[in-house]
Chains A and B, each alone.
Chain A
Amino acid sequence: MHDAKNVLGFSLRQVFKVLCIAFAIFLLVRAVPGDIADMYEARGDYDAQQLEALRASLGLHDSLVQQFGRWGWNGLHGDLGESMRFGASVSDMVLGALPTSLLLAGSSLAVGLLLGFSLAVAALAFPNSRLGGWIESLNIWSIAVPTFCTGILGILAFSVWLKWLPIRGQLLLPILIVGIDVAGQIVKPLYEELKETAQAPFVRTARAKGLSRWRIAWRHMLPNSLSVIVALSGVILGGLVGGTLTVEALFGLPGIGSLALEAIRGRDYPVIQAAVMALAGFVVLVNVLTAALHRYIDPRLARGHQE
């Protein structure tokens, strides 16, 4: 009961947060100088009179509150409006971009976790090997080498020279490239966490019981490290959806990040708002899921234990 109330309260707070984010984004978007009419003017197909008419028809003359209200009201009814630039349905555009982004982000996270986790476990298992150096290198790699460098090398090697994979219409290479980057970001904290868990007194207890290594690792260490892994995954996932712009650009992937960027460039307000809202909504969803997972993993949280 009590727990359900907590979860509900948490979710409501998150929803409120999304609303705040929506308004903040709405304001920010309009703070960007220039609007869609400028865009048309740049193309030279409209005269001043027409531009004003266009602005009026798009509601750009109304007050910001009016615009936000209209957008919010329609949004609640599932109508995100039309792209000012393309006249296409914004929901279609966002829904068209989401699957690619989610698939790319999810799979990259999986690859990154798998790679990072294996490396961290291996480094723990063989403390005297060179794996520690590998962890360090992978970490530096992900910080210092932009993904567009790895991306272009991947394209050259696998698509242009070897011709194993096309550049467009495949996700294998992008997932690998982003996955390695993710692995580089998480391998160090993962390693630290696993190391700390390995030193926890209850692991010593488990050893003193005469349990096998694998049982200790599987039943004692992993569950206790899981919270950190979940938290880490949440943060990474939140940043990945919409954050894989360079890879999307290189591989011609229609992701939500590219959609947002192009919309920002084109001052296509409804699309920017919808795309960024989708991102914010996703981040919030990830937060809620992470919190739920934490409760599932840790009975202390589920039973409302304080401290």
Chain B
Amino acid sequence: MQRRTLLKAFSLAAAAGLYLPLPLSAQTAATPRRGGVLKLALLGLDTADPHRHSGSIAVQQVYVETLTSIGDDGTAKPFLAERFEVSEDGKTYTFHLRNNVRFHNGRVMTAKDVQANLERVRDKVKSGWLSGAMKMVQSMDSSDPATLRVVMSETYAPFLSLLSELWIVAPESEGWDTTIRKPIGTGPFTFGQWQPNVRFSAPAFKQYWQAGLPYLDAVEFDLRGEQDNSLSLRAGDIDVAYVRSDKIAALRGDKVDVQFLGDTAWYFLSFNNRKPRALMQDPRVRQAIALAVDKRSYMNFIGGSDALTSNQPVRPKSFYWDEAIEARDLYAKPDLDKARSLLQAAGVDPTQQTLKVISWQNDYAQVAVQMVRQLGFKIDHQALDDIGAQRALSAYDWDLAPFNSGPRADVYLRYARLLSDGPSPMLWGGIQDKELDTLIASAVASPNPTLARQRYLDAWQHVLDKLYTVGIGHASDVIGVAARVRGYRTGFTWSQNRVDGGLARTWIAA
């Protein structure tokens, strides 16, 4: 049972490093009250087709569910599958489905339905997070309605984690062959009214497989929730919402509870790696810029004293983090003098150079810009919206890009974008490095977590050596929860309906 041990090791690792027990109030003691509509403002909803979702996953879990679910400890746990088994070679997965799962149209979910979903993703959604995994699916078998067997061509460690984002929809849903308009899922709430960019409401599903759940009559999402919602929380017209960490004090002052996501968002400053101009090809210039970044102040600005500095893409003290690499960080502390002498050595007069910086419109980008400007560079800062930034980045005529990357279901997802053919590699400067590709591929195919950890770290050391990006630190996204809300707990990622928590168990106090 080598695979078993592997999983256990992963979980242990996660539990040891990733999971921070949250301060829970004594809310669990009371008997849950039924009824009421919970209002949320988290991220948006891009599409009604759960297989075509493009990133933000805070909304759709309430009406569609998955075989696995990322638990509070960051590991994949059985969800619609009652349990799963992995063969010793790590290539064959057997999912034993629950027998009481009903779709919103009342039909009982079978293995055939699940297989249809996997096939749809494999055939119709050729890119995205799941594409790499689905390419390796060799065959599927659903002859037993309660069992699905998936055979992979190679060992693929992130598979179970990635399945936590492969939503199971009834194939009879409208638009199955093209784009699903009205998904028929299995979640505690059904796909109700959707007004893109405005609001989404989901009434409770009475035949939900977890008997007695959900408590709420409905949930309603404000889909413009990506900005700070602290005022709405304090005014009392929203119950659960994303807030900025610098509003925490004001929220607590108004009796709004504050929770943090389990996994952190990673903050970094990338160089243009695909087409760097001559100036930026000089490692001394990159080093000088890295030395200008005051990681502590930067992370303080983002998340206060709770935020952590790090040169690595995973949270410090977690399984895939390495203390030694952290200790060797040449840029742990800012050193402007050294940076200037590096520039001098490189024969660069920063006052004669204009660096083009691309960012989203996040405030921290201004902090990054100002830190680099301290060296004397002139800065042309373009703060852009989604598409604007995308276009500007993929032109590769820029120099620096301060960005962040949200919580991820698997460590692989942190590394995927460093691949030459990874999804949307612009944020990391479009690295094209065969050696790095090989290192990451070997990590993915590792038979055990220790080896996987070592190979991921090797890959990261390679990134550090090349100074493709400057890792700055980690901070958890913050969610404000109104005082009347009971039973709500944030998860490891943004997911709002999970194996061990979420909106199904949330209720509203009288």
Contact = CB atoms under 8 A, between A and B. Distances in A.
Q: Do A and B bind each other?
A: yes
B390 interface: yes
A43 B116 CA distance: 25
Interface in B46-104: 46-49, 52-55
A42 B387 contact: yes
A40 B424 CA distance: 10
A304 interface: no
A136 B255 CA distance: 43
B386 interface: yes
Given A44-B424, A86-B196, A166-B236, A39 B387 contact: yes
Contacts of A219: none
Interface in A1-53: 33-34, 38-47, 49-50
Contact of A160 (B47, B199, B231, B389): B231
A215 B49 CA distance: 66
Interface in A138-179: 155-156, 159-160, 163, 165-169
B351 interface: no
Nearest to A49: B126
A85 B387 CA distance: 12
Nearest to A32: B387
B54 A40 contact: yes
Contact of A43 (B195, B224, B254, B424): B424
Nearest to A263: B197
Interface string B113-156: 00000000000011111010000000000000000000000000
Interface stretch (A123-131, A251-259, A284-292): A251-259
Contacts, number: 120
B201 to A, nearest CB: 13
B237 to A, nearest CB: 3
Interface string A87-108: 1100001001100000000000
A93 B223 CA distance: 14
Given A43-B46, A45-B54, A258-B197, A87 B181 contact: yes
B197 A167 contact: no
Contact of B55 (A45, A168, A169): A45
Given A86-B48, A88-B196, A155 B387 contact: no
B237 A254 contact: no
Given A96-B195, A267-B387, A155 B48 contact: no
Using C-beta atoms within 8 Å of the partner chain, give the interface range for chain A: 35 or more
A301 B424 CA distance: 63
B387 A265 contact: yes
Contacts of A166: 232, 235-237
Contact of A87 (B48, B198, B199, B231): B48
B350 interface: no
A160 B197 contact: no
A34 B391 contact: yes
Given A43-B424, A45-B55, A96-B198, A87 B235 contact: no
Contacts of A83: 196
A155 B235 contact: yes
Interface string B204-232: 00000000000000000010100000011
A-B pairs with the 7 shortest C-beta distances? A44-B424, A42-B390, A166-B237, A43-B54, A44-B423, A159-B235, A254-B198
Interface of A: 33-34, 38-47, 49-50, 83, 85-88, 93, 96-97, 155-156, 159-160, 163, 165-169, 249, 252, 254, 258-259, 262, 265-267
12 contacts: A40-B54, A42-B424, A45-B55, A85-B46, A86-B46, A87-B48, A87-B179, A96-B198, A155-B235, A160-B235, A254-B198, A266-B386
